[in-house]
């Protein structure tokens, strides 16, 4: 069996806040893609512990139709640092994943301070699906153009931003996608933005 060299993670750390109810397709895909590019994804939560992930989908072939996504248990993911112990200067970018976790994480003062710091420093930020709730609650979407899952449009427009229904929207340092189905569209611009600031 061939041996493959380990990818050095020397390009910088990416801060990924999560909590119970984090959507796993929103979260695991960027973790793996960022590692492939030489970045170190650092998963953080209210506490440094294992968190319960979920899977959201509109089930095909149901006898009673679902108008919104149905939630069911998925994989678990470990946060290695608590929000209160994280320092934004240690990171080169921010990734805001979705699921139900942002509904309660947006009340965490430490996380809100961290999100504002990334925007204030103009570091690359990516958000998908309900991750928009974190940027909105932190007051970072005023006069910004972004996309998200359709049912979260108000999280952009109610906070002074402009909503666009596209697989990927880039506005300055902010890259956004609607759902995990858009991973192949919005992750590449986010990685390009990181690479431009941190070449190999």
The token duo for 117 is: 């710091």
Q: Kindly report, residue by residue over 4-34, the tens digit of the pLDDT.
A: 567 778 899 999 999 999 999 999 999 999 9
Is 3 inside a domain boundary? no
Which CATH number goes with the domain that contains 36? 3.40.50.880
Is 4 inside a domain boundary? no
- Asked if 54 contacts 23 with a C-beta cutoff of 8 angstroms, the reply is yes
Is 144 inside a domain boundary? yes
Is 47 inside a domain boundary? yes
Q: Kindly report, residue by residue over 38-92, the tens digit of the pLDDT.
A: 999 999 999 999 999 998 887 887 788 878 888 887 899 999 999 999 999 999 9
In total, how many domains does the chain have?
A: 1
Is 7 inside a domain boundary? no
Is 118 inside a domain boundary? yes
Residues, the chain, total? 200
- Asked if 145 contacts 127 with a C-beta cutoff of 8 angstroms, the reply is no
Which DSSP symbol is given to 142? T
pLDDT band at 133 (very low <50, low <70, confident <90, very high): very high
**Structural domain of 83:** 13-61+68-197
Least Cα distance to 17 among 52, 43, 54, 36 occurs for 43
Residue with tokens 């049912």: 151
CA dihedral (153, 157, 158, 161) in degrees, to 10, reads 130
Is 8 inside a domain boundary? no
């Amino acid at each position: 069996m061939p041996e493959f060299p380990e990818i050095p993670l020397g390009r910088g750390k990416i801060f990924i806040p999560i909590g119970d109810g984090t959507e796993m397709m929103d979260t695991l895909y960027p973790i793996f893609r960022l590692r492939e590019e030489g970045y170190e994804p650092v998963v953080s939560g209210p506490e440094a512990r294992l968190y319960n992930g979920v899977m959201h989908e509109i089930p095909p072939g149901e006898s009673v139709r679902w108008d919104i996504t149905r939630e069911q248990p998925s994989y678990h993911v470990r946060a290695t640092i608590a929000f209160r112990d994280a320092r934004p200067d240690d990171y080169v970018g921010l990734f805001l994943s979705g699921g139900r976790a942002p509904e309660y994480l947006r009340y965490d003062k430490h996380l809100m301070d961290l999100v504002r710091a990334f925007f204030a420093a103009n570091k690359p930020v990516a958000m998908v699906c309900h991750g928009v709730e974190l940027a909105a609650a932190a007051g970072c979407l005023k006069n910004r153009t972004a996309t998200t899952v359709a049912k979260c449009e108000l999280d952009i427009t109610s906070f002074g931003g402009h909503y666009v229904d596209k697989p990927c929207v880039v506005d300055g340092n902010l890259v956004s996608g609607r759902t995990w189905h858009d991973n192949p569209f919005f992750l590449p611009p986010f990685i390009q933005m990181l690479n431009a600031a941190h070449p190999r």
